[in-house]
C-alpha cells in the first residue's frame, strides 16, 4: 500500500469539487429536513455516465444504500440526489419507497429516466423522511444547478465542521482529464467499505468494469484506511461517475489506467484525510505507518488496531508519549510480530528500539505530540509488508457530541 500512496502523492491537488470535471453540475439548498442548514444536494452529468460504487458492509443497511446498490449494478447513471439530516435507515418498506420516490422525483425534475438516478442519505437513524419537504426541494435544486459544487458539498454535511472537496487535473494519453469529488463524515467512521458518503466524478471515459477496478484500488488506500471511532455506518457509500466529456478513447488498461487510478487515489485520499481531520471532537490528525510486516494485509491490520485503541487515542489527545499502549495494541492485533524486533517512532524520533524504550527522549517525544499532524511509525522487522492508515485523537468533545446527537 505504501508504494501506491507514494505514487499518488506525486499528483498535485488543485482547487475543485465534484462539479469541476467537464459536463457536471451541482446544487445544494435547504428544503426543510433540518431546521436551518442546507440539507438537499443534486449532482448531475449532462450525459449518461459509467458508474461504480462501494457500500457499507454493515448488515443494517439504510434504504438508499439498498436502492443504489441495485441501481449501480447497471453500470450507468446520470444523477445523484442526496439528503442530510435523516439517514432513512431502519425505516422498513416505507423507507425503500421513499428512496425510490426521491429517484423518481429527480428524474422528473431533470427530464431523465429515474433508473439513472442514484440516492444517498445521511443523518439520524430510525426516523421517516419528511417527504413533503423533499418533494418541494428537488425541483428547486434542479433549477439551481451550476458548474460548481460548493453548495452541494455544504448540503451533505451533518456534524461536519467544514465542507470537504478536492480535485486533480492530469494528462492521460494526451487528453487533459479532471477528477473531482466531495465527501462528508466526522463520526461513525471505520473501514470495510468507505466509512462516509463520497461522490467522485471524472470527465475521462472508462467502461464500468474498469471504473470499478480503479475505485476499488483507490478506496483501499483512502476511505478504507481511515478510522475515527471504530463504528461503521448504516449509510456508507462512495460513488464514482465517469462521463467521457474530456474526449479521447476509453481508458481500459496499461499506463493510462495506472495514471488515472493514481489521480483518483489522490482525490479520495485528500477527502479521506479531511474526514479524519474533522473527526468529532478531534484536535490532531494522526498517520499510523507500519512497515516490516509479513504482508500488506497484516500491516494494515496492525495499523488499524493501533489507530482504534482508545488508550492510544486518548494518550495522543493528552500529548502523552506512552508508547507502551502502542506495543500493547500491536500485541493483540492478531498479526505476526516479535516484541524484541519492534521499533516505534514519533515522526523521526525513535522512542522504542528492539522492544525497549529509548532512554532520555520522553520530553522530546512529548513535544513531538504537540503538533496538529502526527506520524507514528512502527517497524515490525519481520517482512516486507507495509500500510498506512489515518486516525485522530479522542477528546471529551466526542462524548458531548454523541451524547446529545438527537436532542
Residues 47 and 103: their CA atoms lie apart, in Å, by: 17
Task: Give the residue carrying C-alpha cell 462521463.
Answer: 243
How sure is the predictor about 58, in pLDDT bands with cuts at 50, 70 and 90?
A: confident
CB atoms within 10 A of CB 147: 13
* CATH no., domain 285-402: 3.10.20.340
Residues 35 and 130: their CA atoms lie apart, in Å, by: 12
How sure is the predictor about 72, in pLDDT bands with cuts at 50, 70 and 90?
A: very high
Residues 363 and 231: their CA atoms lie apart, in Å, by: 34
What pairs with residue 54 in β-bridges?
A: 238
Mapping DSSP to helix (H, G, I), strand (E, B) and coil, where does residue 56 land? coil
What pairs with residue 373 in β-bridges?
A: 285
List the end-to-end C-alpha distance of the chain, in Å, as a whole number.
Answer: 41
Name the catalytic one among 106, 178, 195, 232: 195
Residues 92 and 194: their CA atoms lie apart, in Å, by: 23
Contact 278, 185 (CB under 8 A): yes
List, as one string, the DSSP characters of 376-399. Answer: EEEE--SSSEEEEEEEE---HHHH
What is the C-alpha radius of gyration for the chain, rounded to an integer number of angstroms?
Answer: 21
Using one digit for the tens of pLDDT, what is the confidence trace for 263-315? 999 999 999 888 887 766 677 888 999 999 999 999 999 999 999 898 898 88
pLDDT at 357: 95
Using one digit for the tens of pLDDT, what is the confidence trace for 102-133? 999 999 999 999 999 999 999 989 999 999 99
Residues 251 and 263: their CA atoms lie apart, in Å, by: 13
Of residues 235 and 130, more confidence is placed in: 130
Secondary element (H or E) of residue 239: strand 237-242
Contact 347, 375 (CB under 8 A): yes
pLDDT at 2: 37
Q: What angle do CA 396, 402, 403 make, to 5 degrees?
A: 85
Contact 150, 163 (CB under 8 A): yes
pLDDT at position 36 over 60:
yes
How sure is the predictor about 398, in pLDDT bands with cuts at 50, 70 and 90?
A: low
Return the CATH number of 2-277, one of 3.20.20.370, 3.40.50.1970, 3.40.190.10, 3.60.70.12.
3.60.70.12
Residues 1 and 220: their CA atoms lie apart, in Å, by: 8
Mean pLDDT of 257-262: 96
pLDDT at position 16 over 70:
yes
Mapping DSSP to helix (H, G, I), strand (E, B) and coil, where does residue 216 land? helix
Angstrom CA distances, 188 to 14, 239, 396, stand at 28, 19, 16
Residues 29 and 132: their CA atoms lie apart, in Å, by: 15
Residues 100 and 254: their CA atoms lie apart, in Å, by: 39
Three-class HEC string of 83-100: EEEECCCCCHHHHHHHHH
Give residue limits of the domains in the chain: 2-277, 285-402
pLDDT at position 405 over 60:
no
**β pairing state of 385-392 and 343-346:** unpaired
Is residue 158 among the annotated active site residues? no
pLDDT at 276: 80
pLDDT at position 7 over 60:
no
Angstrom CA distances, 330 to 229, 320, 368, 394, stand at 18, 18, 21, 19
Contact 97, 134 (CB under 8 A): no
pLDDT at 281: 65
| Most trustworthy range by pLDDT among 138-142, 387-391, 401-405 | 138-142
Residues 344 and 20: their CA atoms lie apart, in Å, by: 41
List, as one string, the DSSP characters of 105-171. Answer: HHHHHHT--GGGEEEEEEEETT----HHHHHHHHHHHHHT-BS--HHHHHHT-SS-SS-EEEEEEEE
Portion of the chain with pLDDT greater than 70, in percent: 90
Using one digit for the tens of pLDDT, what is the confidence trace for 118-174? 999 999 899 999 999 999 999 999 999 999 999 999 999 987 888 999 999 999 999
Amino acid at each position: 500500500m505504501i508504494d501506491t500512496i507514494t505514487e499518488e502523492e506525486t499528483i498535485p491537488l488543485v482547487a475543485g469539487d465534484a462539479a469541476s470535471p467537464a459536463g457536471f453540475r451541482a446544487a445544494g439548498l435547504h428544503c426543510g429536513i433540518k431546521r436551518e442548514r442546507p440539507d438537499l444536494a443534486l449532482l448531475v452529468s449532462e450525459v449518461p455516465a459509467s458508474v461504480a460504487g462501494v457500500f457499507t458492509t454493515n448488515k443494517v443497511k439504510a434504504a438508499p444504500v439498498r436502492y443504489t446498490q441495485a441501481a449501480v449494478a447497471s453500470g450507468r447513471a446520470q444523477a445523484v440526489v442526496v439528503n442530510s439530516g435523516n439517514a432513512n435507515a431502519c425505516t422498513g418498506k416505507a423507507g425503500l419507497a421513499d428512496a425510490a420516490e426521491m429517484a423518481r422525483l429527480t428524474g422528473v425534475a431533470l427530464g431523465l429516466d429515474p433508473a439513472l438516478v442514484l440516492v444517498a442519505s445521511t443523518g439520524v437513524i430510525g426516523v421517516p423522511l419528511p417527504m413533503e419537504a423533499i418533494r418541494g426541494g428537488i425541483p428547486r435544486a434542479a433549477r439551481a444547478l451550476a458548474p460548481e459544487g460548493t453548495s452541494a458539498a455544504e448540503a451533505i454535511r451533518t456534524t461536519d465542521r467544514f465542507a470537504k472537496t478536492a480535485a486533480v487535473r492530469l494528462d492521460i494519453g494526451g487528453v487533459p482529464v479532471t477528477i473531482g469529488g466531495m465527501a462528508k463524515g466526522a463520526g461513525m467512521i471505520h473501514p470495510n467499505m468507505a466509512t462516509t458518503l463520497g461522490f467522485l466524478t471524472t470527465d475521462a471515459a472508462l467502461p464500468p468494469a474498469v471504473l470499478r477496478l480503479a475505485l476499488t484500488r483507490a478506496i483501499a488506500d483512502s476511505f478504507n484506511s481511515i478510522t475515527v471511532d471504530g463504528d461503521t455506518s448504516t449509510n456508507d457509500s462512495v460513488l464514482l461517475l465517469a462521463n467521457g466529456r474530456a474526449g479521447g478513447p476509453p481508458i481500459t488498461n496499461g499506463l493510462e489506467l495506472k495514471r488515472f487510478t493514481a489521480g483518483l487515489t489522490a482525490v479520495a485520499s485528500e477527502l479521506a484525510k479531511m474526514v479524519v481531520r474533522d473527526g468529532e471532537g478531534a484536535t490532531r490528525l494522526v498517520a499510523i505507518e507500519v512497515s516490516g510486516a509479513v504482508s500488506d494485509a497484516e500491516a494494515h491490520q496492525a495499523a488499524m488496531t493501533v489507530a482504534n485503541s482508545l488508550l492510544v487515542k486518548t494518550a495522543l489527545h493528552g500529548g502523552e508519549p506512552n508508547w507502551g499502549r502502542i506495543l500493547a495494541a500491536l500485541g493483540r492485533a492478531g498479526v505476526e510480530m516479535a516484541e524484541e524486533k519492534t521499533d516505534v517512532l514519533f515522526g523521526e524520533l525513535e522512542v522504542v528500539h528492539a522492544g525497549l524504550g529509548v532512554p532520555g527522549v520522553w520530553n522530546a517525544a512529548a513535544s513531538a505530540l504537540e503538533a496538529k499532524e502526527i506520524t507514528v511509525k512502527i517497524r515490525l522487522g519481520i517482512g516486507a509488508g507495509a500500510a498506512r492508515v489515518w486516525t485522530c485523537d479522542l477528546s471529551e468533545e466526542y462524548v458531548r457530541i454523541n451524547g446529545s446527537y438527537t436532542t
